[in-house]
Amino acid sequence: MYGSRIIICTPYTVHHTQYIKMNMKKTILLVFGTRPEAIKMAPLVKKLQSLPDQFKTVVAVTGQHRQMLDQVLRIFDIVPDYDLNIMQANQDLYDVTSRVLVGMRDVLKEVQPDVVLVHGDTTTSTAAALAAFYQQIPVGHVEAGLRTGNIYSPWPEEMNRLMTGRIATYHFAPTPLAKSNLVKENVSEERILVTGNTVIDALYMVVDKIKNDAALQSQLRGVLKDAGYDTTRLDGSRRLVLITGHRRENFGDGFISMCTAIRDLAAKYPDVDFVYPMHLNPNVRKPIQQVFGNITQKDIKENTESNLACSNASSLDLKSAQEQALGQPFAQSCTDTQSDSLQKNVSLPKTDENGHADGIGINNNLFFIEPLEYLSFVYLMEQSTIVLTDSGGIQEEAPGLGKPVLVMRDTTERPEALESGTVHLVGTNYDKIVNEVSTLLDDAEAYRKMSQAVNPYGDGLACGRIAEFLKGKIN
């Protein structure tokens, strides 16, 4: 039993719940701060919480990704005991590292956990592991042992993994190859457990939830439509290429090349929809706007509002002006110069017979939509034909749904996917992206080979294995 909960605030905006220990159960503190971490740690939180006789489970989040993190917490019904709330505008790696490190000092002093669990390669994980080390608290590293051999690719993730691995006492490797990487670094095999990846646990939980709830499916279709994509477009023979991109090493010219390839693929394949849920990071959105101009319904609304002042459309209400923008973009409500400028930037969406906005581009089949919470993203991923991404986790998730993955990076810390054939590397090279996507869209045998390859990342039972390991090691 635990005593009353006391809400405490510190100068570092740490919001948390203080517990008074009344027994000798082992305390597990799980720390994460980004959406990918939350997705992969959520099933582990739920597993440990299901074993209250063995563990006291405490959750601390840093808020490194604020909005997207909170979405995942709601989906899995997780209420953090501690929230560092570090997110600030224009923060850099120095800011994130220092805020997590200092904030975790106070959390660790109060909780006094028997072990701290961190995940993967984020700055939150490395800083939290370092904070635990400073108090000589054992660290368990979930998704341990992934390596590219290049500390700048992915950056800073590769170095984060290395540093967290050096600090960790327990290493939960998703694959035998990840274990062998750790053994080569002189980690004792007794401290390593091959578990599979917890993201597959999360994926199967969510897919099962969606498939068995017709009302939820309808809700998710509505969420996607509000975000900018109507999945009823796929009711016939249309196919979908799902795109994500957010890696720091691709900022700048890499993203420009990626966006140019996507634009030209959308022109080449009028019967295929290209859907890109855009990351909130302005370094991601800026090159998209450089290539495509004003691309979302929000952009159209903002431009409509600004152009009301430049025309005899001042008598129009906003709704009719937006409709005009979607149908005959701006030409009737702007000067010729302004209209020409907008038309050069982008072919704006038109409406179909049901009043739904089509995409942009010459075939109206390119959709830049707002970020999706996890349930909606998984639902859309299930509807997709190909996934084009620079994400690490999606390299593991999409093959679990039978979707070929083209990775827009030069290296991957997941070589098992390359060996199994579920993933191909295309980097940010324009020709490689266009050629590989074209092959999968045009060659049925090439598509079959990738889509039916065996996913090497697990069976959905990773969290149970971690819990059993912890029972033996810390009791």
pLDDT value for 92: 92
The first and second tokens of residue 203, run together, are 């994926």
Computed over every residue of the chain, the mean pLDDT equals 82
Q: How far is CA 330 from the centre of its chain?
A: 35
Q: Per-residue pLDDT tens for 83-118?
A: 999 988 888 999 999 999 999 999 999 999 999 999
> Active-site residue numbers?
121, 143, 157, 246, 248, 279
Of 107, 32, 101, the residue nearest 72 (C-alpha):
32
Residues 402, 389: contact at Cβ < 8 Å? Answer: no
145: left (phi over 0), alpha (psi -120 to 50) or beta: left
Give the whole-angstrom CA distance, residue 296 versus residue 287. Answer: 14
Q: Per-residue pLDDT tens for 119-173?
A: 999 999 999 999 999 999 999 999 999 999 999 988 999 999 999 999 999 999 9
Helix 198-211 crosses helix 214-227 at what angle (to 10 degrees)?
110
Q: Per-residue pLDDT tens for 41-92?
A: 999 999 999 999 999 999 999 998 888 889 899 999 999 999 999 988 888 9
Q: Is the pLDDT of residue 4 over 60?
A: no
- Whether the upstream peptide bond of residue 80 has omega within 30° of 0, thus cis, is no
User: What pTM was estimated for this model as a whole?
Assistant: 0.74
CA atoms within 13 A on the CB side of 120: 25
The residue-averaged pLDDT of 18-33 equals: 77
pLDDT value for 341: 33
Of 326, 298, 324, the residue nearest 313 (C-alpha):
324
> What is the per-residue DSSP string for 80-130?
-SEE-----TT--HHHHHHHHHHHHHHHHHHH--SEEEEETT-HHHHHHHH
Give 357's DSSP letter: B
Q: Is the pLDDT of residue 360 over 60?
A: yes
Q: How far is CA 182 from the centre of its chain?
A: 26
Beta pairing, strands 170-173 & 82-83: unpaired
Q: How confident is the model at residue 259 (pLDDT cuts 50, 70, 90)?
A: confident
